[in-house]
Structure 1
């Protein structure tokens, strides 16, 4: 819909350090830009780096500080809030009708997107323990993240929290002001890439390329890091036990994602903890076309300790894979136990029994489903509807 020349323009400001397609928060907003522009929205951005076109989005770009490593996000939070304070002290006009920031970045935002809960992960980390010095080194950042997200939720400016799943929304409601409205806006996926036709197109080619025979039952695991949190070692331990059974003797694990250094560390630990497992675990590394690896698989396994609403789960389900998931945040949005997958125990031995049963019996009424995952178009429509509710339904 185009707007008339005299119609009032609606303006929107996005705030995030990395307005990039690789960002699990921002990619969904970036895909919504054409629809927003067609609906008459003017879009601005405060960021360090951006993939958005300068023709579509007016940018205020702050100096990058990659040399700070993980501290760059804290640097952005500090500089963007100081910039907002400076504008207010100088009497500058409000930068946009709606200010939408990623949780923990800008405390003057009307809307915040919540795609992670540091407060929940901090407690979960203590419960499951630390697996090495890297986990210990990351923990202070988790605590800092917990502090800034709490400041975001208690900001007097905040009117709406867009959470990625119902369970995350329930957590936020117990931690934010009563006047803040909490709505669920699930993740979106690219339906042109992730669909059952992709399995038909790529399955035979990719299985041959990866060395899988017709007898092999391939479980796909996708992650670029945080392997303990995402349940990689639970999956390995359970599958190692399953492979000792008649039903699971041909089981294989296909691990997609991760840097070369990360994979080298995983291989070294696997050799120590699970001798011989390198024969049935295939590491594919970082892949730009992960749908081809879903196509080569028979099921998606993701026994994570904590997520918000994992995009990989949506993409795998969209390709028609059964989902084998633990009851983490977001799993309620996509998994229907016994229909499009199985709900797994966190106990590796119980998990092994459940996987063995899955291999032996399958899913009697298997119905591939993305649950409440959204296509790009559905996400854009839901986002615009949320914005228009905030502006009283006034359309450009």
Structure 2
């Protein structure tokens, strides 16, 4: 990834240059810079969009999927890239990598005080913090659902301490909430003033995620799903919170023409026992990359989740012209419109089955839902989202420059 821009690049070489004459510059901080995951993908797409808009930007990361010679990526403690942060040992790996990267990246950020720093939760201070989820609220939801395995994940303790320091301590000029729900949680749990919060939703790459009939046929053949099956798709980890059991319960109430493809890592053993009576119509694909080649295979995307903040997977499905059936939680209620791009459902197998059966009975109506889903996704293209970020960055940049002028020459203190 390269920057095609005539603006000066982010540099630490001239810290005492008069800031009022400097062009707009952005530094993103993310522990993993890639297209895998939520925050990781957001940082990736923002960098690409900033590039297209001609904005000078740099990414501080310890693990990058960009080309080794990418000019807008700086690796911080790159030796940690050999430590697994995904898969069975991910919790141990993240406990080592995430805190270490946070401290080192926070220190490294001192060299970029003339830029506007956008952190995705991986520095203890900065200019703009993108809040993808409020961990304390997530844990509340797990408790309400009777989940307890998370208590064995020591990373939650680190995240709680980190959030208390960086959010509760108001160590950023602005907080970007990816949905109105997240904005409310910031106010409720951390007393963040409303004037320091801006809601900017996540976006979608409509060139990557799009309707694709060839991909539809290939994916169905790959997973052994009949071409004429009415295929439901579930994508996500944490099967309990995401409501996989409710979809399986719905499958038991639907006809044999319905199939379910489950993509993601979770307690497959438990759920495979639950589907023993469904005669092989539930396929567990495990964790998959290249989801853009899987979504088009589906006729409906189903997510009876208990807690979300925006849900990229729902938007990815819509971009592939797949109607969404999901609970109205987090940011999903901001774009899910009953009868236009899908239907809202309850965390109840009877309700899920009834809504699906009703929609699939109307073949022409199902086509209109697919069309509405695609049209919705077009409104969330990354260039439009990045423009909102640029407007916020420009506002913060003016505040920083004004603060510098009022305190004399030098740098605005970041930490």
**TM-score, normalisation: structure 2:** 0.78
Shift of 1:158: 0.9
| C-alpha spacing 1:156/1:208, structure 2 compared with 1 (3 Å) | closer
Cα distance in 2 for partners of 1:151, 1:14 equals 20
- Counterpart selection for 1:374 from 371, 375, 380: 380
- Residues 1:48 and 2:62 aligned together: yes
Superposition deviation, residue 329 in structure 1: 0.8
Whether 1:108 aligns to 2:108 is no
CA contact (8 A) 1:304 1:326 kept: yes
Q: 1:127 to 1:66 in 2, by over 3 A?
A: same
Could you tell me which residue of structure 2 aligns to residue 230 of structure 1? Answer: 242
Instruction: Name stretches of at least 5 consecutive residues in structure 2 with no aligned partner.
Output: 10-16, 401-415
What are the residue-to-residue correspondences of 1:1-396 with 2, within 5 Å?
2-3=6-7, 8-37=22-51, 41-52=55-66, 54-57=69-72, 59=74, 61-62=76-77, 63-64=79-80, 66=83, 69-75=90-96, 78-79=99-100, 82-83=103-104, 95-103=113-121, 105-130=122-147, 134-138=149-153, 140-174=154-188, 175-178=190-193, 181-196=196-211, 198=212, 200-213=213-226, 215-223=228-236, 225-242=237-254, 248-258=255-265, 262=266, 265-266=267-268, 268-277=269-278, 279-361=280-362, 363=365, 366=369, 367-368=372-373, 369-370=375-376, 374-392=380-398
Q: 1:219 to 1:40 in 2, by over 3 A?
A: closer
Give the Å deviation of 1:176: 3.6
Deviation by residue 1:346-380 (Cα, 9 ceiling, x = unmatched): 12233333333333346476322435862232233
Q: TM-score, normalised by structure 1?
A: 0.81
Q: Is the 2:129–2:174 contact (alpha carbons within 8 Å) kept by the matching residues of 1?
A: yes
The worse-fitting range, judged by mean Cα deviation, of 352-361 and 309-318 is 352-361
**2:406 match:** none
CA RMSD of aligned residues (A): 3.4
**3-state DSSP of counterpart to 1:359:** helix
Q: 1:298 to 1:136 in 2, by over 3 A?
A: same
What is the CA-CA distance between 1:383 and the residue it aligns to?
2.3
Task: Tell me the equivalent position of 1:245.
Answer: none
Higher fraction of helix: 2
Contact 1:28 1:379 in 2 (8 A): no
Aligned 8 A contact 1:122 1:143 in 2: no
Give distance in 2, aligned partners of 1:18 and 1:208: 33
Instruction: State the Cα distance separating 1:324 from its structure 2 match.
Output: 0.6
Change (3 A) 1:286 1:123: closer
- What's the CA shift string for 1:82-134, capped at 9, x where partnerless? 5578689xxx765443122122x322211111112211111111111127xx4
**Runs of 5+ unmatched residues, structure 1:** 243-247
Q: Secondary structure at the match of 1:193?
A: coil
